[in-house]
Amino acid sequence: MGLIAIAADKGAPGVTTVAVSLAAVWPRRAIVAELDPFGGDIAFRLRGPRGVPLSPETGMLSLGLAARRGADPQQVFEHVQRLDGGLEVLLGLSSSDQGAGMGTLWEPIAQLLDRVPDIDVIGDCGRLYHGAPTLDVCREATAVVLVVRPTIDSVAHLRSRAAMLASHLRSGAVGTGGTPLFVVVVTGARDDRSPKEIQHVLGTAQVPATVIGRIAHDPRGAGMLEGEWIGRLDRSLLIRSARAVAARLARVTSVQAAV
């Protein structure tokens, strides 16, 4: 079905947390793919069934080798591991050195991930910057979602990154088949104004990006996704907010994938 690329500009606004949360509650079968060129975090944060550590060799590293020989989308499953709780994950590289070693493989890997049969892939693309290999990943995706915190500096960086990305992806250009660009805001429970204000900022700058919702700023919930088992994750504010965003994104991307 489709690759949904999650990314951000400066800072660490919670891209990995948003990607894992969305994949965990996605209304269709989904895997989370760690595509951050600086390396993945999930192997350090979460475990496989019965607490067994995940294998660092199975994931982007092994898929990269397969893609070099010419793989088909069905083969992506051979590189996927299951977390305790059932979520399927394509583990990321272990360092930025490995990321650089991927060379030109990012684009064919993104093409594979966008075409895995009967499954959506939620890709954690980390931070975007000039020349980032993940810009190629975003261009192959069914949709791109930028994560932002509601601070003046973050929104200013979002605005310029989204403007650059929208032209790179040809987002919003009618009839060009461009990739749609969305924004998710990580906000506190009582902050329901930020998404509208950020949409206004983007609209004023004529950036064709749609704020699709908010993810709760929830240190307890985020802590559980980092391996601190301190409560029921499914009842956390984080996961409850992710359900609403996932439902909306899954709806728009299924229409997009069918086009």
Q: Which residues bind ligand ATP (CB under 6 A)?
A: 8, 12-17, 36, 41, 126-127, 186, 215-219, 222-223, 226, 238
Of 30 and 238, which CB lies nearer to ligand ATP in the complex structure? 238
219 binds, among Mg ion, ligand ATP, none (CB under 5 to 8 A by kind): ligand ATP
CB-wise, 115 or 217, nearer to ligand ATP?
217
Among Mg ion, ligand ATP, none, partner that 222 touches (CB below 5 to 8 angstroms by kind): ligand ATP
Length of the chain: 259
Helices (H), 26-128: 42-45, 60-69, 96-101, 106-113
Partner that binds at residue 17, options Mg ion, ligand ATP, none, CB closer than 5 to 8 Å by kind: ligand ATP
Report if residue 17 touches Mg ion, rule: CB under 5 A: no
| Cross-strand partners of 4 | 122, 143
Give bridge partners of residue 145 from the DSSP assignment.
6, 182
Rule CB under 5 A: say whether 16 interacts with Mg ion. yes
CB of 155 to ligand ATP, least distance (A): 16
Q: Is the Cβ of residue 1 or residue 183 nearer to ligand ATP in the bound state?
A: 183
Q: Residues in the site for Mg ion, rule: CB under 5 A?
A: 15-16
